[in-house]
């Protein structure tokens, strides 16, 4: 009996030691794992949230739309309000709901459901204002120097506009509503996705299809790498793809995506190794382009309110190799440390 008690005490002591070692190991791992739960910096760009926003590709400028401030242009390096524009925001039906800044930061394109306007980022002046016919505006894109504009519409048409000449080319490949468009900085190649489950890459001079990417549900987001290396397409049923823009071949599918993770913003890293996405669920994710694996994720700050609220991530951009900028519907611009894989 004494021998059994002694053995039990030894076993208990051994188990206790193992528990302590395990706990210390877990604490050590947690301490070594970088946390992206809190931003490095946070700036309020609108008091009660915003309706649209875009950050320039180099992370230096952002343009946001809000009901109290109209269109606001921010110098992100100084966090300084540079311009305030008005796009005839007289009613809730005419709010600016889409914004795109050119790759060179020379111009910005803004659109409500009924009209779109071209702005000079250097002078702060408007260079054109147009009203659409027949259907509402769903998404927009702009080329360098504001030479070309791309307008995706609810009737399935995508219109490519040459500003200097007024030339309009209508791409009629889609059979249903357009949800998303993008364009290369030189304006020669466009990408569009719609409710017909198809994403097209097409030539803006001829209107000819270059690639067709089929999905199993409506295409909710497309994006082109400004350097011409990649294309991105995602649908509403958690399927997201990265394509080789030179060959049209699939590079990878994003792994571990969920149905509610509808992407609202996409950005390719300058070195071509990383993709960053923002979602309507406030989630920001970092992906390895070669493997499709998610290497980090976190949530942007929601709008301050008495009840819990979410936030749509309107735009994401690389500030440098280690930090990211976000603009969200909460009205905040935030700077984040990118966690490095262990």
Full set of structural domains in the chain with CATH: 41-84+255-342 (no CATH), 132-253 (2.130.10.10)
pLDDT at position 307, please? 53
pLDDT at position 33, please? 35
pLDDT in tens, 88-106: 645 555 699 999 999 999 9
pTM: 0.87
Mean pLDDT across 267-285: 96
Please give the full DSSP string across 169-224, using - where no structure is assigned: EEE---SS-EEEEEE-TTSSEEEEEETTSEEEEEETTT--EEEEEE-SS-EEEEEE
pLDDT at position 341, please? 65
Average pLDDT score, the chain:
88
Question: In the chain, what percentage of residues exceed pLDDT 70?
Answer: 85
Contact 267, 284 (CB under 8 A): no
C-alpha 51/C-alpha 100 separation (Å) is: 13
Q: Which two tokens stand for residue 81?
A: 């309000």
Nearest to 177 by CA among 161, 159, 158: 158
- Bigger pLDDT: 311 vs 37: 311
pLDDT at position 190, please? 98
| DSSP-assigned beta bridge partners for residue 18 | none
Mean pLDDT across 114-125: 97
Q: Phi then psi for 273, rounded to 5 degrees?
A: -100, -20
- For strands 148-153 and 198-203, give the pairing: unpaired
Instruction: Count the Cβ atoms, other than its own, within 10 Å of residue 283.
Output: 20
pLDDT at position 90, please? 52
The pLDDT-based confidence of 8 (bands split at 50, 70, 90) is very low
pLDDT at position 5, please? 42
The pLDDT-based confidence of 48 (bands split at 50, 70, 90) is confident
Question: In the chain, what percentage of residues exceed pLDDT 90?
Answer: 77
pLDDT in tens, 190-220: 999 999 999 999 999 999 999 999 999 999 9
pLDDT at position 100, please? 98
pLDDT in tens, 130-188: 999 889 999 999 999 999 999 999 999 999 999 999 999 999 999 999 999 999 999 99
């Amino acid at each position: 009996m004494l021998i059994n008690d002694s053995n039990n005490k030894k076993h208990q002591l051994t188990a206790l030691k193992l528990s302590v070692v395990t706990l210390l190991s877990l604490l050590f791992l947690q301490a070594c794992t970088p946390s992206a739960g809190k931003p490095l910096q946070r700036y309020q760009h609108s008091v009660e949230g915003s309706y649209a926003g875009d950050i320039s590709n180099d992370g230096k400028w952002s343009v946001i739309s809000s009901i109290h401030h109209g269109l606001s242009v921010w110098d992100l390096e100084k966090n300084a309000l540079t311009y305030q524009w008005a796009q005839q925001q007289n009613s809730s039906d005419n709010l600016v709901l889409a914004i795109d800044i050119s790759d060179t930061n020379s111009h910005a394109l803004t659109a409500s459901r009924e009209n779109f306007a071209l702005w000079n980022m250097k002078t702060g002046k408007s260079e054109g204002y147009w009203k659409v016919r027949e259907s509402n505006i769903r998404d927009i894109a702009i080329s360098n120097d504001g030479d070309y504009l791309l307008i995706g519409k609810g009737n399935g048409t995508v219109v490519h506009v040459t500003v200097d000449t007024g030339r309009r080319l209508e791409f009629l490949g889609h059979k249903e509503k357009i949800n998303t468009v993008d364009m290369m900085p030189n304006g020669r190649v466009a990408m569009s996705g719609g409710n017909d489950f198809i994403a097209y890459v097409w030539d803006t001079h001829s209107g000819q299809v270059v690639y067709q990417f089929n999905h199993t549900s409506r295409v909710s987001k497309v994006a082109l790498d400004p350097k011409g290396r990649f294309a991105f397409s995602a649908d509403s049923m958690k399927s997201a793809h990265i394509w080789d823009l030179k060959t049209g071949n699939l590079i990878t599918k994003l792994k571990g995506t969920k149905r509610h993770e509808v992407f609202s913003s996409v950005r390719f890293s300058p070195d071509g190794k990383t993709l960053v996405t923002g979602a309507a669920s406030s989630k920001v994710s970092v992906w390895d382009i070669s493997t499709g694996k998610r290497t980090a994720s976190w949530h942007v700050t929601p709008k301050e309110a008495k009840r819990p609220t979410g936030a749509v991530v309107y735009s994401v951009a690389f500030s440098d190799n280690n930090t990211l900028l976000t603009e969200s519907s909460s009205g905040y611009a935030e700077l984040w440390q990118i966690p490095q894989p262990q």
